[in-house]
Structure 1
Amino acid sequence: MAQNIKILPGATVCEDCTLEGDITIGGGTVVHPRVTIIAEGGPIIIAEYCIIEEYSTIIHKKSDKQENPPKPLFIGAHNVFEVGCKLESPFGHIGESNVFECKSYVGVDVKIGSGCVIGAACQLTVPQSLPDNTVIWGSEHHNREALEKQPSQLLQLDFLSKVMPNYHRLRKPNLHKRQPSRPSQEGAKV
């Protein structure tokens, strides 16, 4: 599997994580140590301001109906992947502002909208599509619509991006935003 890891400026990515395949990590995203991200079924694009905590696993699984070129897995902005959660997806899109709580598991045939919460230790293995603002919780996998929007994680992201360099070695950003080109000074009248 070819390695093509792209880290945008402002992202905080620990060296002590496993990144395999074609992965793009957006600015402001924090990737803790011991995270595993594997793009075996196509590229993974993680948008800005996501938090991916220790021992989390994100795998873009190969599909039986593999497209050529493979369709990327896009993970929207402001998602939180808590300690030990696992996401396996051959689908093309995970919404924004979702929380995957500790040790939760989302299987290959599950589509996630935006503003969803997958409760601690909940395992979603049955094919389904979660509409926006769905909350799954408990051993019986109860679900309901969220009563309010997920709170912003921007303060936590700011704190982590300042503190983590003191305790962990970080991967350097390797993809820079293009600067707008300046008009040529040739031919300008003085």
Structure 2
Amino acid sequence: MHLGGRQSKGGVELMVGRPLIGNIIKILPGATVCEDCTLEGDITIGGGTVIHPRVTIIAEGGPIIIAEYCILEEYSTIIHKKSDKQENPPKPLFIGAHNVFEVGCKLESPFGHIGESNVFECRSFVGVNVKIGSGCVIGAACHLTVPQSLADNTVIWGSEHCNREALEKQPSQLLQLDFLSKVMPNYHRLRKPNVHKRLPSRQSQEISK
């Protein structure tokens, strides 16, 4: 039986070519992950990232690596879908730093990476044939299902999915992340970090490349 080997990406060691047995959940120091969420498959959660209750993350088509300082709000869903031409070993899905997934949004992706500093607003949906750059905003209730690639700093809004280039960079979420990491332990049970190595900032930035 082929057990595969190891690969390293962004300072995180991955097992590749190995059949998935159960869940492999890696939580780095500084991450705030509520116990009441659904995590299935091989998932790595970077330091400073906050995952609210009722979040669903499913690594169906391969490992998912979430970089540092992301926010996943209640009922947001990320699924690394199996592609029609499944690679062996399966290709990881890298989600860059400082992404915000608002309440009820859903991302389905077989692609290799999602950029940094994107905002997926409430009840938005991004399908399997959509590539996302960095600094993008997917407006509330916008559904992107047609194959397309969003360039950096693209804003999608409205029922007709109009788009334009963002006039300003997305604001930093660090103050909100700091607040959430202090308040959430008072109201929710948390999953404890189980990887005792923090991603250096430069390496975490490389995740989305």
Gap regions ≥5 residues in structure 2:
1-24
Return closer, same or farther for 1:178/1:154 CA change in 2, 3 Å cut-off.
closer
Structure with the greater relative contact order (CA < 8 A, sep ≥ 6): 1 or 2?
A: 2
SS of equivalent residue, structure 1 residue 183: helix
Residue 83 of structure 1 and its aligned partner are, at CA, apart by 0.1
8 A contact 2:96–2:207 mirrored in 1: no
Residue 184 of structure 1 and its aligned partner are, at CA, apart by 30
Return closer, same or farther for 1:13/1:188 CA change in 2, 3 Å cut-off.
closer
- CA distance, structure 1, for counterparts of residue 57 and residue 195 of structure 2: 18
Gap regions ≥5 residues in structure 1:
none
Return closer, same or farther for 1:143/1:173 CA change in 2, 3 Å cut-off.
same
Residue 183 of structure 1 and its aligned partner are, at CA, apart by 24
Residue 178 of structure 1 and its aligned partner are, at CA, apart by 7.5
Return closer, same or farther for 1:7/1:181 CA change in 2, 3 Å cut-off.
closer
SS of equivalent residue, structure 2 residue 180: helix
Residue 177 of structure 1 and its aligned partner are, at CA, apart by 1.0
Residue 154 of structure 1 and its aligned partner are, at CA, apart by 0.1
SS of equivalent residue, structure 2 residue 208: coil
Count of residue pairs the alignment pairs up: 185
Residue 158 of structure 1 and its aligned partner are, at CA, apart by 0.1
Return closer, same or farther for 1:58/1:188 CA change in 2, 3 Å cut-off.
closer
Return closer, same or farther for 1:67/1:54 CA change in 2, 3 Å cut-off.
same
8 A contact 2:37–2:52 mirrored in 1: yes
Return closer, same or farther for 1:181/1:42 CA change in 2, 3 Å cut-off.
closer
Q: Highest Rg: 1 or 2? A: 1
Return closer, same or farther for 1:149/1:19 CA change in 2, 3 Å cut-off.
same
Listed one character per residue, the Cα deviations across residues 10-67 of structure 1 (whole Å, up to 9, x for unaligned) are 0000000000000000000000000000001000000000000000000000011111
8 A contact 2:95–2:208 mirrored in 1: no
Return closer, same or farther for 1:179/1:72 CA change in 2, 3 Å cut-off.
closer
Return closer, same or farther for 1:176/1:145 CA change in 2, 3 Å cut-off.
same
The corresponding residue for 2:159 is: 139
- CA distance, structure 2, for counterparts of residue 19 and residue 64 of structure 1: 23
- CA distance, structure 1, for counterparts of residue 46 and residue 180 of structure 2: 15
4+ residue segments displaced more than 3 Å: 178-189
Identity of aligned residues (%): 93
- CA distance, structure 2, for counterparts of residue 72 and residue 185 of structure 1: 16
- CA distance, structure 1, for counterparts of residue 114 and residue 204 of structure 2: 43
Return closer, same or farther for 1:165/1:119 CA change in 2, 3 Å cut-off.
same
The corresponding residue for 1:17 is: 37
SS of equivalent residue, structure 1 residue 143: strand
Q: So what's the TM-score if we normalise by structure 1?
A: 0.91
- CA distance, structure 2, for counterparts of residue 137 and residue 188 of structure 1: 24
- CA distance, structure 1, for counterparts of residue 207 and residue 129 of structure 2: 60
